[in-house]
Amino acid sequence: MNNEKSDFEYDIALKPDYAYLTVKVPAGQSLKVEASSMATMDVNMEMKTKFKGGLGRYLTGESIFINEFTAQGGSAEIGIAPSTFGDLEHLYLDNENVFLQNSAFVASSMSINVESKWQGFMKGFFSGEGLFLIRCSGQGDLWFNSFGGIMPIDIDGDYVVDTGHIVAFTDGLDYKITSVGGYKSMFLSGEGLVCRFCGKGRVWIQTRNPSAFCGWTWPFRPSKNN
């Protein structure tokens, strides 16, 4: 995979806190974009909605639609704003597989196959990170986002990552969800569930954990006075 090669002209502004993606789509070509992520576009850009992931993504509570934007009668620009505040990464896949957490997909070339992948109950349900990963494969551009900054880590052997910090990883890594510190730690300390990777490849982690952030904001929630 290559971070520099691209079939499109694109720009990622406002990294790493509020990353915003602008892609120039040549005339007659199309781009896959996560539903509801389009912020701006030229008037000659045509949108079609495609059903993706079937029951899998429906069960996770994630969007089950990917929009396709086609430049009609000339090239056109589209501005894409991910739903979370954080970083955004670009990869060019050369007949490779990359697995994304189920909310990380932002956009891709039409040649990239985007599909849900069953994790299994032990890997997904008990991890609290959703039942499905998104598998992106093929040749072309891929953009994905994070909550907080994105940090790539190259792995050769064994490595442990908290489940809430995983954004993406390459196909050369096997993984399993395990507990750390026993079940008391898991329920009382907020720690305990990690992903143990094994093999050779790359993991992209996010510098903030959505669940931890929700826990931090909980005391500040509006409440009714009886």
The domains of the chain are located at 9-215
Average pLDDT over residues 72-90: 94
Range of lowest pLDDT (43-57, 74-88, 115-129, 175-189): 115-129
Give the residue with greater pLDDT, 190 vs 40. Answer: 40
pLDDT value of residue 191: 52
The number of angstroms, rounded, from the C-alpha of 203 to the middle of its chain's C-alpha atoms is 12
Task: Give the sign of the dihedral formed by CA 20, CA 73, CA 35, CA 3.
Answer: negative
The Cα-based distances of 18 to 21, 24, 60 in angstroms read: 10, 20, 25
2 secondary structure, DSSP code: B
Please name the residue that has the structure tokens 């609290």. 128
The Cα-based distances of 90 to 164, 187, 207 in angstroms read: 21, 36, 17
Average pLDDT over residues 51-79: 71
Asked whether the beta carbons of 195 and 176 are under 8 A apart, the reply is yes
pTM: 0.81
Asked whether the beta carbons of 223 and 177 are under 8 A apart, the reply is no
Banded pLDDT at 102 (limits 50, 70, 90): confident
| The total number of residues written for the chain in this structure | 226
Answer yes or no: is pLDDT of 185 > 80: no
Candidates 3.60.160.10, 3.10.20.340, 3.40.50.300, 3.40.50.2300; correct CATH number of 9-215?
Answer: 3.60.160.10
Average pLDDT, the chain: 81
